[in-house]
Structure 1
């Protein structure tokens, strides 16, 4: 014959364990949400000295973010309007007129292309970014605005 006192005690223990598990899960979910939000927030800060160049002409547009590092730069560029199949370079020009290829790609059928690259160029010497074809045709140029 079941013992009613034992049954009530076991029910209370089970209920307390369930509440404890719920509290732990809630705390873990809250902590995870805070960590993710903090990571997203930290990931969106711009780097000191980071600059953005933009240009648009003849159906082609370029937006390039130049991030300085110790004696060199990182580039992230968004390019629209390059004809499919074009073999292209992302070129950095410095204040002495030296041109350095930072990235290369073949334009796809998609109108939009994202390109990342690096160049061994003094960050303070950069005067412009160009997209040019491998045969030397300049498709778009973005220059620093003084």
Structure 2
């Protein structure tokens, strides 16, 4: 895919077009690193267990997506995937502001954000003990 420099019009930086990549060997950086851009790596798996092993075989775990009409399978995979967010029948982008959000493994640092978890994330508890004056 083409990589473009958008220096004209006052925009600086480098940009890549939305790209689908398949046929990568195991361990390729595009399949193992968090890519914050419009790049999607497609990997083939012969079974659900192999797909879980591929997904869990990287050091990151921000979000994953499962597409199925089988509720039991969705719940089983949600428990087996090492990600902070598992979306069923939805893309991995976007979050629900009322639910805790954060990753697992190297995709996380500290507590969860958003929802009730945000109270713990953004505040600290102080205890003040008062005894009667003498």
Q: Same fold (TM over 0.5)?
A: no
Q: Which structure's residues are more often helix, by fraction?
A: 1
Radius of gyration: which is bigger?
1
Relative contact order, higher structure (CA 8 A, sep 6+): 1
Q: TM-score, normalised by structure 2?
A: 0.25
Q: Which structure's residues are more often strand, by fraction?
A: 1
